[in-house]
Structure formats: C-alpha cells, structure tokens
A and B are shown apart, each in its own frame.
Chain A
C-alpha cells in the first residue's frame, strides 16, 4: 500500500447545494436561487436531474464576466428575481451564495433586504458552498437563515429542528401527544414562511447530526439551548430522544419496554448484521449515530469516517463510540489502507468510490440513500436496518450462487475501453 507523503487529502463528498433537492420538495412555496458558476448549475442538473423536468423551483444565476469584474450583484439579480417571481410566485426565495461569490467577496447576502422590499417576497440569504462543509450541512445553513426570522417567545415551546418526511413527523407528533408534551413545531415546515418562535425557554431538539450552525445560531441570537439527546436513529437513540424530551418538560416517561419491543420486531433486519464488521467511509455526517445504533444491533463498527466532528454537539454520540476509531475528513487512500487491514463485511460509501470499492471486493452500501429514506424513530428503524441487511443478503446470495465461477463479476477497468480497436 502506498504511503502518502504530503498530507494532501482526496475527499469523497459533494457540494452542500445538494439539500436543495429535499428542501425545495419539503417547502412547496419556496424557490432556491443559487448565485454561482456553470459548475453549480451542472451539479444541480446532475444531482437533482430528474426534478428538472417538472418546472423546478430551483435555478442558478450564473455569474458572467461582468460579475467577475466586480459589477453590483443587485443589478444582475433584479431581472432574475423578477422572472422567478413572475413564473413561480414563491412565498420565499432562498438566495444562496456559493464558492465563487465568497472568493470575490461579493455581498450576495446584502442583496436580500432590497430584493425583499422591491418584490414583496421574503428573501433568505444563505451560504451553500462546496469548500469544507459536508453536503448535508447545506440544510444547516438554510435552517440558520430561517431562524434569523423566528419570532421571539418566552414560552416553553417545542421545536424539532431538521427536515423530516411526513411519516417521521407523524411519529414525533403522536409520541409527544401521548407524553402530554406541547404540540411540536417543525423547522422546516411545509411552508417556507413557517418559522416557529424561539426563545430562552424553547426546547429545541435536532434530529439530524449535521445541524450544528443552526443550533449555535439559536443559542447565540435567541438564547435557545439545544436539547441534549442522542439522535433518534434506531430504538436506542429513539428511546433516549423521547425520554429526554419528556424530562425537558418535567415528566418522567420510560420507553424501556418500547425499546425492547422495537428490537424484537426488528429481529429479521438485525439478525443478518450480528457480528458483521461494518465500516463507514465519510459522507453525509450521519455516520456517528448510525454506527452507534448498528453496534447496538450487534454489528461491529471498528472505524467510522465522517466529514466533520463537533466535540460538544456530538458529545453524547461520541460517548457511545469511545472504543471506535473515528476518522474525521479522511483521505480516500488512508481509508483504503484501513479497509485493507480490516477486510470488513460491509463498507458504507458514496457514489464516488462505491463501484471502485466493489471492484476491490467489498460489499458496499450506497450511503447517500441514508439521507433520503425515512429512517428516523421507531417507525423508521425497520427501513434503516433493512437497507444494511439487504445489501449483505444480496452479496451473500450472489456469492453463494456463483461460488465456483472464478471470473464472474470481474470489474470494468480502463483496459475494457482501451482495448477496443486498439492495436495492442
């Protein structure tokens, strides 16, 4: 194995524009206007391609040479916002600054107030760039921008932070009702104008491990402390999430029996994971809680790669992973070296390296799916563990059936293309 000599890292993750995919879907009256290059537009087209055809509520204001030369962005944005408002009539526009405006020190955020005044549509300025943030952290920055418009409150209200599917929200709503807690408000909700009030007494509970900036903003600007809990993934995390929520409202509720029942109901999905070695390559920043619950289900998770670790924000999850090697923002080749030593039964990796890892002989679970399947709570646990179990099952089944056929399934390599028509 080659040893790196420069501390240069090759990372495998995508741009934080990606959450536009699920956020514009969740907030049906929103429009996402990205201020960037043709490459931003190309990313949206490639990553969210299928949505292009249904009159998409996202677009790119592509910077031209005038903009690069220092033209006032407000002049460029005016006609574009006018066109967006005329065609889509959104209730709110998310005006996203990207890498290039940041380099140019272009004040995109400063354009939001005048545009809002001129067009009578709320404009949230946010920063969605492809530098250091994990791709899911785009949602973090969008929610932070929304929080800036939250009404103040002194009440002890309950706010669930993080974009969830209706099924996931329904579970949280029902459990809160059963525990006698206040009706939870969700951020984001179904409208881009729905921003629940925040104040020093608000119980703000994050369901995604990548919403660090929004949580920090709430504390700094509104005095709202983040509710401390494991994230609600798997029966163990979900139990902790509900029990601590109850405690935050002065109630003692035990979900011990509920957790036991849930594990029992999950036997079919968790049995194939028992004693299997699973390694996470770095991708969506959901790795820490998923590693925790997979271990609770009986899997071995010796190594977890994850884009960013925030010591305090992730403290409770980290405490459960004390004996796990955590690779923050790992270099692709350093990770490969660890894999070669460990030979895990399953690698959880994104599309950049998924096929090459299969080519190296690993069973690979495509990790990006973890961000758009409803896997939260008790009701999502079956889907969660089922995804891992299904990949393992498929690999074992195919391997068993072609056991004696050595050449079967050889990966496509570059020679496959180079030999076509070549004189060699």
Chain B
C-alpha cells in the first residue's frame, strides 16, 4: 500500500475512456463499480456537453460479488441499438480487473450480428498503466484496428495526433494548426482521436506526415504509422513563434512545399515583436520554473528562454517514463530537471527557487500561491478554467500570442499584488474577505447604525459559524429583520427566525 493524497494522473480507465470517447462513432464502455463513474461527470461538466458523452459504465453491484455475470452483452446490445456506433471499446477499472471476469469470453460468445458495431477490448493494464500510457495505447489500438493500406493523397496532407476531449485547450490547438496549414496548402486528413471516425481511420495512411500535439500522447500511434505506412512525423514541438516557424519548416520539408510560404502563415504572430518592445525588456531579469506534461514543459521552457529571454530555474514533468526525453530536450536550458509525480516535491522546488513566475498545472498554481509566486497554468491536470468559451490555444502562432498574453497578465497581476501589499491599507486587499470575522469581539465601527440591534454573544458565535463568504450578507439580513421588528437584542432565536424569513 502507498499513501496517496493527490496525483497528477487519473487511473488507466480514465485514459482509455478519454481516448475512445473522443473518436467519432466510437462508444466506450467501462466495467467498474458505479463509484468509478465520475469521469463522465468530468466530461459533462468540463466540456459543458449538452448531450450525453459516448461513455457508459457497466456497473458492478453487490450481486456481482455474489457471482452474477457482468451482463455486458445486454449493455452492448442497448448501446448498439441506441447510438449506432461503429466501434464499442470495452475496458475495466482496477477494481473490476481484480475480479478477473472473463469479459473477452462474454464478448466472444455473442452471436454474429447480435450487435452491428465492432467490439474491441482495450489492451491497457488497469493497474500498471497510467492515464497517459492508457490514452496513448488506446489511441494506437483504435487507429490500428481500422487502418488500411491506401494511396497517399494527391496534395500534401497531415494527421494531427493527440487532441482529445478533456485535453488541454485542444479544440483551440487544432484550430490554430488548421489556420497555418490552410495558408500553406496542407490538408488535414484526420484529427486523432478528436473527431476521427472509423472512416477517417481507414484512410489514415493517405497523410504525408503526422503531427503530434503532445509527443507522449501520440508516440505509439506515430511509431505504428511510421512502421506500417512509412509516414514520418514532425519532431519539433509547435510552441512559440520561432518554434512554430521551425516546426512548419520541418513540415514543409516533409511535404515538399517551399518554405517561403511560411511567412504568410506567420503574419499575425506577434510574440517576437512583443519580446522586442521595451515593455518586455524586464523579462530578462525574471526567473521561471516550468512543470507539466513533458511536451508542454519542454515547449514552454524553450519559448520562455529562447523567445522571451527569461531565466529557467527548473523544468520538470510528472510523466516519469518521459524524464529522459525531457532531459534531452531541455539540456541547453537548465541543469535542473525535476522528474517526480509527488506534488510536494514540486512545491519544495518552488519554495527553494522562488521564481518570479511559475508555469505549471493547477496544482502548481496552488503551491505557488502559498509563497506569493504568480503562476500561469500551461498543462493538465486541468480545472474548469482550462475550458474557456473563447479561443485560447497554446500551440502554433496563435498559441504563441496567447503565451505572450499569459506572461504579460501573470506579470501584471503579480505587480498589482505587490502594489496592493505596498500601498493598500492593511487587510483591505482583495483577499481580505477570506479572513474569518472575529467572533465575540466588538463589531467594526460603522457596520451597525447607532440605534441598531445588538448581538448577544451566543448569536455572535453562531454567526461566526456561517461560512465566511456569506457571513456579511447574513449579518446584514438578520439586522434588517431585527430593525424592521424593533428587536433590540439579536439572540440565536432571532437569528434563526430571520434566516427563516430572508434566507441566508
């Protein structure tokens, strides 16, 4: 047993379902206790889906423990009839794996034609795999399941590999690449897994080149396609303006397109100009830490150093299997590469180096805030804030602009905070309301009209138990109630009566 408080990666079945449910006309079924079903909530809430996601849980129950069969075939029949998917991917959570049910046998015993969809049992190991490896492996399995030998497309074309539902700003990332590819005359053959249908996968071999948006999520698929069809993939990560130009140059080489066309695609890229403006000169003295998904960490660190001249204190990742990959990528940027899946170790690194800006996941944002270090969120694990309604890519030229804005905003906020600390009256900053109101002490002058009601100590104590963010309103409501009824002393009973009448 190992004590776990918080982890960067979700369990394997979440990685499988993120990949499978992102394809078009593919449905994912997870065999698990219903308690494992929270990944559907993440899909419904984070992506704000107004439809049910193509993800179902075949729930284990007490009856399962008593020996009842999974009844997987019945569920597959229902999904087949209701959703008409072309493929149903079946996987199980770690808990279900312990039971060692013969799901493959149940599937094999279904009559031919019992369901129209094809059925694929995911090969991921529910305990040994992590979210990243499960996602990457499942993507590869589904691609390999459908891929057929087809002639190369007439015009240059690419497959974008890596974007998914619940991915990090992935819809915008795809759009940012699409714009550049359109200008260059490069067709997008498929986006995998986000939206690729079995029909798209059958012709995935048409593409001239594969483009990963995150190497660690795409690796098995990239290697499979290279072996099977000889399709090369771009090795440069499209982070930053210069980075995107290098990326497109590599792509143009592979697509036999003149690199001169890139200038047209780069027209709206403004990161390098921003970097030259005097506004940005101060960035040279700024020290930063970068931590996240390997590709995001490597890509960001390069932009921050090469394009904005910031100083890299450390770069790191929680994907332990990609530690060496990251080390190679950032060897010229920093000596300190942190490879750990323990958030407390990252927190200690932030504490030790005290960077001017931290770039990390939502966890680093929290850790950094404890030391007053501003943090830009550039990597999963995500937060609802990483699912903006608007367009906020992290890769391509538009992504470069967004990174510039992010650096700028994070900085300015940091400065604002500093100004408030320096010049603002004590306790009047925007965090002041978070502090609990003193209980049983004299009320702040002016908060109650002179002839207003008085709080007895018991009521004041009870008010102190009201959550801080509604306490002020509750106090006002109760006092209003008391004033309206000429109540001089507010005791617990008055307070509860007031709550009954005005809520809060």
Distance between Cα atoms of A334 and B35 in the complex (Å): 21
Q: How far is the CB of A17 from chain B (nearest CB, A)?
A: 7
The proximity string for B residues 471-504 relative to A, scoring 1 for CB distances below 8 Å and 0 otherwise, is: 0000000000000000000001101110111111
- A39 with B500: in contact, given A10-B56, A102-B65, A422-B191 (CB under 8 Å)? no
Distance between Cα atoms of A99 and B59 in the complex (Å): 12
Whether B44 lies near A352 (C-beta < 8 A) is yes
Whether A2 lies near B50 (C-beta < 8 A) is no
Whether B2 lies near A355 (C-beta < 8 A) is no
- A99 with B51: in contact, given A14-B38, A131-B60, A356-B44 (CB under 8 Å)? no
Chain A neighbourhood of B160, CB < 8 A: 421
Q: How far is the CB of B62 from chain A (nearest CB, A)?
A: 5
Whether A414 lies near B54 (C-beta < 8 A) is yes
Chain A neighbourhood of B59, CB < 8 A: 9-11, 131
Whether B38 lies near A99 (C-beta < 8 A) is no
Distance between Cα atoms of A412 and B466 in the complex (Å): 37
- A39 with B95: in contact, given A16-B35, A76-B1, A381-B500 (CB under 8 Å)? yes
Whether A379 lies near B499 (C-beta < 8 A) is yes
Let me know if B177 is at the binding interface, CB within 8 A: yes
Distance between Cα atoms of A46 and B14 in the complex (Å): 12
Q: How far is the CB of B483 from chain A (nearest CB, A)?
A: 17
Q: Which residue, A38, A165, A380, A381, has most C-beta atoms of chain B within 10 A?
A: A38
Chain A neighbourhood of B81, CB < 8 A: 2, 5
Q: How far is the CB of A337 from chain B (nearest CB, A)?
A: 12
Q: How far is the CB of B117 from chain A (nearest CB, A)?
A: 15
- A62 with B33: in contact, given A14-B38, A68-B98, A355-B48 (CB under 8 Å)? no
Whether A420 lies near B195 (C-beta < 8 A) is yes
Whether B188 lies near A100 (C-beta < 8 A) is no
Do most interface residues of chain A lie in helix, strand or loop, or is the interface mixed?
Answer: helix
Whether B127 lies near A68 (C-beta < 8 A) is yes
Chain B neighbourhood of A132, CB < 8 A: 61-62
Q: How far is the CB of B261 from chain A (nearest CB, A)?
A: 19
- Contact residue among B5, B38, B502 (Cβ-Cβ distance under 8 Å from A15): B38
- A333 with B33: in contact, given A46-B38, A80-B3, A132-B62 (CB under 8 Å)? no
The proximity string for B residues 171-183 relative to A, scoring 1 for CB distances below 8 Å and 0 otherwise, is: 1001101100000
- Comparing A51-59, A147-155, A180-188, A213-221, the segment that makes contact with chain B is A51-59
Whether A174 lies near B496 (C-beta < 8 A) is yes
- A356 with B492: in contact, given A38-B7, A38-B11, A47-B38 (CB under 8 Å)? no
Interface size bucket, A side? 35 or more
- Contact residue among B77, B189, B493, B503 (Cβ-Cβ distance under 8 Å from A6): B77
Chain A neighbourhood of B77, CB < 8 A: 5-6
Whether A417 lies near B194 (C-beta < 8 A) is yes
Chain A neighbourhood of B189, CB < 8 A: 423
Let me know if B442 is at the binding interface, CB within 8 A: no
Q: Which residue, A171, A269, A354, has most C-beta atoms of chain B within 10 A?
A: A171
Let me know if A7 is at the binding interface, CB within 8 A: yes
- Contact residue among A47, A165, A174, A352 (Cβ-Cβ distance under 8 Å from B493): A174
Whether A417 lies near B165 (C-beta < 8 A) is yes
Q: How far is the CB of B387 from chain A (nearest CB, A)?
A: 10
The proximity string for A residues 39-72 relative to B, scoring 1 for CB distances below 8 Å and 0 otherwise, is: 1111101110000110010011111110110000
The proximity string for A residues 250-286 relative to B, scoring 1 for CB distances below 8 Å and 0 otherwise, is: 0000000000001001100100000000000000000
Distance between Cα atoms of A100 and B60 in the complex (Å): 11
- A131 with B61: in contact, given A6-B71, A6-B78, A53-B366 (CB under 8 Å)? yes
Distance between Cα atoms of A160 and B463 in the complex (Å): 22
Whether A171 lies near B496 (C-beta < 8 A) is yes
Whether B35 lies near A43 (C-beta < 8 A) is yes
Whether A99 lies near B33 (C-beta < 8 A) is yes
Whether B127 lies near A99 (C-beta < 8 A) is no
Distance between Cα atoms of A358 and B22 in the complex (Å): 22
Whether B94 lies near A100 (C-beta < 8 A) is yes
Closest chain B residue, CB of each to CB of A374: B499
In A150-184, which residues have CB < 8 Å from any B CB?
165-167, 170-171, 174
Chain B neighbourhood of A64, CB < 8 A: 1-2
Distance between Cα atoms of A410 and B49 in the complex (Å): 11
Closest chain A residue, CB of each to CB of B13: A39
Chain B neighbourhood of A73, CB < 8 A: 1
Whether A63 lies near B496 (C-beta < 8 A) is no
What are 15 sample pairs from A and B whose C-beta atoms fall under 8 A apart? A2-B78, A8-B74, A15-B33, A37-B11, A39-B36, A131-B59, A171-B496, A352-B44, A359-B49, A379-B499, A414-B49, A419-B195, A420-B174, A421-B188, A423-B189
Q: Could you list which residues of chain B lie within 8 angstroms of chain A, going by C-beta atoms? A: 1-7, 10-11, 13-14, 22, 24, 32-38, 40-42, 44-45, 47-54, 56-62, 64-65, 71, 74-75, 77-78, 81-82, 93-95, 98-99, 127, 160, 165, 171, 174-175, 177-178, 187-191, 194-195, 366, 462, 465-466, 492-493, 495-497, 499-504
Closest 6 CB pairs of A and B: A130-B35, A411-B50, A359-B50, A15-B35, A6-B74, A418-B195
